[in-house]
Amino acid sequence: MGGIPLLDYLVVGTLLFGIGLWGALTRTNAIRILMCIELMLNAVNLNLVALNQYLDPGSVEGQIFGLFIIAIAAAEAAIGIGIVLMVVRRRGEVDVNKIRLMRG
């Protein structure tokens, strides 16, 4: 991985995951929560690929798992945004504290 040590990748990935977790737990806007979940998935992806390159530089398993994570993140974003758009059209609200989907 060039001249950048593994610890730098792990620190950046941990910071990104922490920021995403903090945002997902403290935000009330559904779109921001989805963005924070995407940030967490990207942090996991960064750590996964960095560890793969450090532990076994010749293999591509980390990159393959990284592609699976990207595909899962894209599916999660598409489904999540679809659900949010449906709720906004029906309720006119994006704040997750004000939305009660189980009530009619």
Between 92 and 32, where is the model more confident? 32
52 lies in a domain? Answer: yes
Mean pLDDT of the chain: 88
What average pLDDT does the segment 73-83 reach? Answer: 92
HEC sequence for 54-95: HHCCCCCHHHHHHHHHHHHHHHHHHHHHHHHHHHHHHHCCCE
Alpha-carbon torsion (29, 34, 37, 38), positive or negative: negative
The boundaries of the domain holding residue 28 are: 6-93
Question: What are the tens digits of pLDDT across the range 36-70?
Answer: 999 999 999 999 999 998 988 888 888 898 999 99
Write down the pLDDT at residue 94.
81
Confidence grade of residue 74 (pLDDT, cut at 50, 70, 90)? very high
Predicted pLDDT of residue 101: 62
CATH number at residue 86: 1.10.287.3510
Structural domain includes residue 47: yes
